[in-house]
Amino acid sequence: MEELNRKTIDRAVLVGLNADCFTKEETATETTLDELEALLNTAGGECAGKVLQNKHTPDPRSFIGEGKAEEVRQLVLETGANMVIFDNDLTPSQTRTLEDILKTTVLDRSALILDIFAQRAKTREGKLQVELAQYQYYLPRLTVWNEEMGRLGGGIGTRGPGETQLETDKRYIRSRIQKLRENLELVRKTRAEQRRRRQKNELPVVALVGYTNAGKSTLLNALTGADIPANNRLFDTLDTTTRQLTVSDTCQALLSDTVGFIAKLPHHLVEAFRATLEELEYADLLVHVIDSADPEREDHIAVVNRLIAELAKPGTPVLECYNKCDLVPDDEIPRGSDKVAISAASGYGLDALREAIETQLGRGKHRVKLLLPYQQGGMVAALHDTAQVLSSEYTDNGIQLDAVLDETLFGKLRQYVIEEV
């Protein structure tokens, strides 16, 4: 599927609609067209021109209106573009109408992102998720083509193999979608087992989240010594990478890099990548990596925060990490106990980030030395399942444990505490 639907993008005219009835997430602006150009470059194409249409409401048939569509067609002819890409999502019928008017291939933002995802997915899990998203995107477009055949009345030239093939294609796609969902459910179960083992190993999980190209992979490399490719491209990371992080002499954690978020991220893509994004739901701490020098920084922070609210476990602490702080004046970086300024590329601020991570992970936790009588020996196994046991020693006086307890366990075991570290 991935190879069949790969588009060779050479030169494209980019079009956006800024409609009064659109929400901020739905509308197109000069800034979102610039981001669309960056997506196009990531896909291997180049921009031949941009058109931004201001309109009260979208035209139900041609989206931008036939007069503006004719203007776009002239720009396609003048620039030699072989494609038009819309910054907004188009319905299948609008796409078909626009292709009839413009006499060239028409894509929307979702199709372009899918193309990039198909190029970037490397693991089996990533490829499964991309394929599912592709089929979900293309299925209603097959339906439109089938409706077009139906409107011809089923006469000469419209019956037989053509219609049968469309129905066959749709049945195949629905069957394939079901199979992909089943395979991804197996992936989720495998991840759940991996999490169970990680929890048994008593290591907290820290997940890096952020807008695409904010520097998450560079930060993971800087903190863990990993060698994850970190290029200046949108969606360079699709597959979750997890490495062990030494936070301090007494604190270890697992650090996960996740797929970058973006404005107008199609919902079906979020759903398709649910298996990967589940890392957020089980994280003990989220580190929100922010590009300090991003001119749209506040808007992008809002995009990520909305997705965190949708995907993460309620109440999960969030540490805001202002990356690339060396590119902006100091007074443009917010300060606070849940905010850290760093440069992942140069290493500036990484010690402060580690300290902040340790503080966040330690909130509501007590590191203690316990002395359990041997008749309470059964509690040792229970503590290994419910707490972080750093060491244990069998002495003449009982079982001595060095452990990290939450508030509830600390209250229950207070009588056995011989030292709070």
pLDDT of residue 9 exceeding 70: no
Over residues 349-390, the pLDDT tens digits come to: 999 999 999 989 877 778 899 999 998 888 888 888 778 888
Cα within 13 Å of Cα(306), Cβ side: 15
pLDDT of residue 60 exceeding 60: yes
Over residues 258-308, the pLDDT tens digits come to: 877 888 877 777 766 666 677 788 888 999 999 999 999 999 999 999 888
Q: What is the CA radius of gyration of the chain?
A: 26
Q: Both 208 and 264 in a single domain? A: yes
Which string of DSSP letters, residue by residue, matches 218-241? HHHHHHH-------SSTT---S-E
Average pLDDT over residues 312-316: 86
- As a whole-number percent, the residues of the chain with pLDDT over 90 amount to 45
Residue 4 lies in a domain: no
Q: Both 211 and 307 in a single domain? A: yes
Terminal CA-CA length for the chain: 57
Q: Residue 204: which of 320, 362, 367 has the closest Cα?
A: 362
Contacts of 408 (CB under 8 A, 6+ apart): none
Report pLDDT for 272.
63
What's the pTM value of the predicted model, to 2 decimals?
0.74
Q: Other C-beta atoms within 10 Å of 321: how many?
A: 30
Q: What is the count of structural domains for the chain?
A: 4
Q: Both 155 and 278 in a single domain? A: no
Q: Both 232 and 344 in a single domain? A: yes
Q: Both 236 and 333 in a single domain? A: yes
Report pLDDT for 370.
93
Domain that holds residue 50: 11-119
**In the predicted model, what is the mean pLDDT of the chain?**
84
Residue 80 lies in a domain: yes
Report pLDDT for 8.
55
Higher pLDDT, 409 or 200: 409
| Distance between CA atoms of residues 365 and 367, nearest Å | 7
Q: Of 77, 93, 119, which residue constitutes the final position of a domain? A: 119
Q: Both 221 and 369 in a single domain? A: no
| Distance between CA atoms of residues 180 and 182, nearest Å | 5
Average pLDDT over residues 203-223: 90
